[in-house]
Amino acid sequence: MIPVLLAAVAAAVVVLVLGRFDRNRALRRWDFVLSGRAETATEALRNRLAEDTEIATHTYDLALKRRASLSYDEAVRLLAIAADTIEEAAEDRQRRLRALSVYARMAEAIVPVAPVRPSQFKLAETRSLTRIAQWLHELLNSYQERFRFRLTVIGFGIRLVVRSIRGSRTRASIEPSHHEPYQTFGDSLHDFRALDDEQVESFRQLMRSAAAMERDSLPDGLRTLGNERPEIDPEKKSEK
């Protein structure tokens, strides 16, 4: 009975996983990895990520001004808008991190990456997370493991920041005159921006790895890829 069960599990896994595998999508991903225009692509990603946080920061600044002029209802409303913007942006970041993790598997070698720096964060939870991660980072064996662990830490950090933003928004709506929720919200925004910078740095390192890939050793179908202008977000195009 055990061999039959093992065979059934293997067949189910193969049909589900390999059956859904899209060769054209894999080719698009390889095209992106091999295009290797690191600086242009990194700058484009940096600008794209900055757009979301700039909107949220601007709305947060307005909320602080309204609070200073004792318009608490308006301040709480603006804070909620900023929080919604960040929550939406966080989903986008998580999707991008998952895509980076896939590309990391494809890159033949990953250049050495530093762990996420704890000193740049203001929230206690993100600082603790990155301190523990900094220690674990040294225990991992290969650069690829370290790179993917770095992405996991960034993803987890984003979740913590979003949780902190939600909490401070709720506290602000309960007691809008208190200073603490606004302060925590500002710190969370700061950490979100820092995590964005770390994500851009991971992307830059991945692009460097892809550029270092030995193209002559690749199969015929892949050798000619990457000669066109890179798309910054091929996942978005293929997953929509």
Give the residues lining the site for other proteins (CB under 8 A): 1-4, 6-8, 10-11, 13-15, 17-19, 21, 23, 26-27, 29-30, 102, 105-106, 108-109, 217-219, 221-222
Tokens of 172: 């602000």
- 49 versus 213: smaller Cβ distance to other proteins: 213
**Nearest-approach distance from CB 232 to other proteins, in angstroms:** 18
- 34 versus 154: smaller Cβ distance to other proteins: 34
- 20 versus 240: smaller Cβ distance to other proteins: 20
Question: How many C-beta neighbours within 10 Å does residue 28 have?
Answer: 17
**Nearest-approach distance from CB 138 to other proteins, in angstroms:** 22
- 110 versus 189: smaller Cβ distance to other proteins: 110
**Nearest-approach distance from CB 220 to other proteins, in angstroms:** 9
CA 184 – CA 192 distance, rounded (Å): 12
Do residues 107 and 206 make contact, with C-beta atoms less than 8 angstroms apart?
A: yes
Do residues 143 and 110 make contact, with C-beta atoms less than 8 angstroms apart?
A: yes
Of 28, 60, 71, nearest in space to 168 by CA = 60
**Nearest-approach distance from CB 150 to other proteins, in angstroms:** 19
CA 137 – CA 114 distance, rounded (Å): 9
